[in-house]
Each structure stands twice: as structure tokens, then as C-alpha cells.
Homo-oligomer: A and B are copies of this chain.
Amino acid sequence: MQISARNTLQGQVTSLKLGDVEAEVTLQVEGGAEITATITRASAERLGLAEGQVAHAVIKASDVMIAVDD
């Protein structure tokens, strides 16, 4: 499947917090940066996410803001 989202960053799950409805997932991506996502708990379970697993952060361009230092 190819998706229109412009940003896909490969990484590894470094932390996974399962809540009642939501789950918080952190990946360490290439270059060492960390990316945190909140997805539904059901999705975290469907994808079988676990620490150490290879996964991708997928982000639509319209959801990315740009900041510059003053």
C-alpha cells in the first residue's frame, strides 16, 4: 500500500503505554530522534506493538508545523 502521507520515518519502539482508550507509543528513529504517537489502544494491540519492534511513524504534511528560533 502506498499512502499520500508525505512523512514516513523508520524506527524502533522504545516505549509503549496502554491506556483505557488510547496508547502512547515512542519510537527512536534514524539519527536518534524520538517520535511519540498517541493511537487507539485497539490499534496498538492490532499491530502487536512491543518494545524493540521495528515500526514507522507516518505523518501527513498538513499535520506538521514549522518553528524557527527567535
Q: List chain A positions with a Cβ less than 8 A from chain B.
A: 1-9, 17, 19-25, 27, 29-40, 42-44, 46-49, 53-70
Contact = CB atoms under 8 A, between A and B. Distances in A.
> What 5 pairs across the A-B complex have the smallest Cβ distances?
A31-B31, A19-B21, A37-B64, A63-B63, A19-B20
Contact of A4 (B2, B19, B34, B66): B66
Given A19-B21, A24-B21, A62 B47 contact: no
Q: How many copies make up the complex?
A: 6
Given A20-B19, A24-B21, A31-B29, A68 B40 contact: no
15 contacts: A1-B56, A2-B68, A3-B67, A7-B34, A30-B32, A36-B64, A37-B61, A37-B64, A37-B65, A48-B68, A49-B66, A49-B68, A56-B66, A59-B59, A63-B63
